[in-house]
Amino acid sequence: VVMKMKDKFIEDFGTTFAVNDIGERVYQCGWNAALDEAARQIALMTSLGDTAASFAVFVKNLRELEK
């Protein structure tokens, strides 16, 4: 079963954070930064050609939308 990072965050910390709490924003920034770096590293795999570029876009699209 694939669990989105936000679901894991809520599972571990519960819903103790209000929507405007810093906890969710910190999680979101870390998650998005990790995805950006993963996408950047994947895009560097030029030997894979368009496959790497497509996968990098897929990873980047997993970002959480800022609220």
The mean pLDDT value for 10-34 works out to: 75
Mean pLDDT, the chain, as a whole number?
A: 80
What mean pLDDT comes out for the span 45-59?
90
Whether pTM exceeds 0.85? no
The rounded distance, in Å, linking the Cα atoms of 60 and 40 is 9
Alpha helices in the chain (DSSP H): 5-13, 22-43, 50-60
pLDDT digits (tens, 9 = 90+) for 38-50: 999 999 998 888 9
Higher pLDDT, 67 or 1: 67
Indicate the DSSP class of residue 17. Answer: S
Give me the pLDDT at residue 37, please. 92
pLDDT at 16 over 80: no
